[in-house]
Amino acid sequence: MKKLLRTNEFYIFLILLLLCVFIQIQSGQFFTRNNIVDMLRAMIVPGIFSIGVLMVLVSGGIDVSFTAIALLSMYAATRLLMIWHYEGNVILAFIISGAIGLFLGLINAALIAFFDLPTLIVTLGTSSIFTGFMQGVLHSREISDIPKTMINFSKIDLIRVYNAKLGISSGLPAVFLILVGLIIIAWFILNYTMLGRGIYALGGDRIAAQRAGFNIIKIQFFIYSFVGFISGIAGMTRTIMMANLHPTNLMGMELTVIASVVLGGTRITGGHGTITGTMLGVALVTIMSNSLILMGIPTFWQKFFTGVLILIGTGVSAYQSMKQKNTLHGVEIDEKELEKV
């Protein structure tokens, strides 16, 4: 029990629970089946993005180009399928979008790993390049007549519920399984592989990680190419869920996703973060956004509350990091005193 009380996840879960009860009291609609399905649906794309952001932050870096990668990947992949008049399996759409995202992620990885450039500067630069390429070279525009195979897949639901009181129905799309699959893969990598240990070690202390034998260049290549790949998947997922392609509708989501990961207990300074905490953070931000609508609060307040949550999450993370350093410093002093004795 004491171990549980020391974890970030426990307190995030507690806040989440209290928030749910508060919204239920205020609106009376929170625990309805269609509202729960709607929230799970809203978590899919930010949830996929947050897995990549978690790995980057744990390694001590930051990536703000993932939405630009997603937009360019999904747009280029959809245009290719339209040119080919493709009507086969929808898996090819995900493969093409993921492959383009992987390529774009490798550009970030090469600049960061080989030239040791700051991650924020690199990803800010490439984000502008990717967006500019899509708008200037590909002449991006809204596409409503996406390939039929993508539209057919968008109609497949895992479950569908009906609210007789409100007269509305909600469905959980099949792409929810993609989020589940990526969560399992990332959880396994971070907890049961040497690569995962290397990611944590890189974020904790780069020099110490090198001395321990971890190949920093390979680890950074994996992280940023993985982020590129899942960003491509997230972009295609978004297009299929909307049954429409809008080349700007993911812009601005960076802040929400990074806030979710930080709220989940991941330290901005690196070395600490979990998949469980990240998903709880995504749930917290999603529920907050959903609650504003249920309680009739204008949606522009969402940015205000997101900013407040970032400050709270970062503050708690910084406090815990400082507390841990003080504890380690105290242990070192005690050891020195014992050596003198």
Range of the domain at 165: 43-275
194 lies in some domain: yes
Over its C-alpha atoms, the chain yields an Rg (Å, rounded) of: 21
Task: Tell whether the model's pLDDT for residue 212 goes beyond 80.
Answer: yes
Segment among 73-87, 178-192, 200-214, 290-304 with least mean pLDDT: 290-304
Question: Rounded to 5 degrees, what are φ and ψ at 140?
Answer: -60, 145
What pTM did the predictor assign? 0.90
Q: CB neighbours of 168 closer than 8 A, spacing ≥ 6?
A: 34, 162
Average pLDDT, the chain: 87
In the chain, the percentage of residues whose pLDDT exceeds 70 is 88
Task: Tell whether the model's pLDDT for residue 2 goes beyond 80.
Answer: no
212 lies in some domain: yes
243 lies in some domain: yes
Range 187-221 burial, b when 16+ CB lie within 10 A, else e: bebbeeeebbbbbbbbbbeeeebeeeebebeebbb
Task: Tell whether the model's pLDDT for residue 143 goes beyond 80.
Answer: yes
91 lies in some domain: yes
Segment among 47-61, 108-122, 157-171 with least mean pLDDT: 157-171
Range 296-330 burial, b when 16+ CB lie within 10 A, else e: eeeeeebeebbeebbeebeebbeeebeeeeeeeee
Q: pLDDT by residue (tens digit) across 294-311? A: 677 776 777 777 777 767
197 lies in some domain: yes
> Would you say 123 and 63 are in contact if contact means Cβ atoms under 8 Å apart?
yes
pLDDT in the model for residue 7: 73
311 lies in some domain: no
Q: pLDDT by residue (tens digit) across 53-100? A: 999 999 999 999 999 999 999 999 999 999 999 988 999 999 999 999
Q: ∠217-223-229 over CA atoms, to 5°?
A: 130
Segment among 190-204, 227-241, 306-320 with least mean pLDDT: 306-320
296 lies in some domain: no
pLDDT in the model for residue 324: 65
284 lies in some domain: no
* Domain count across the chain: 1
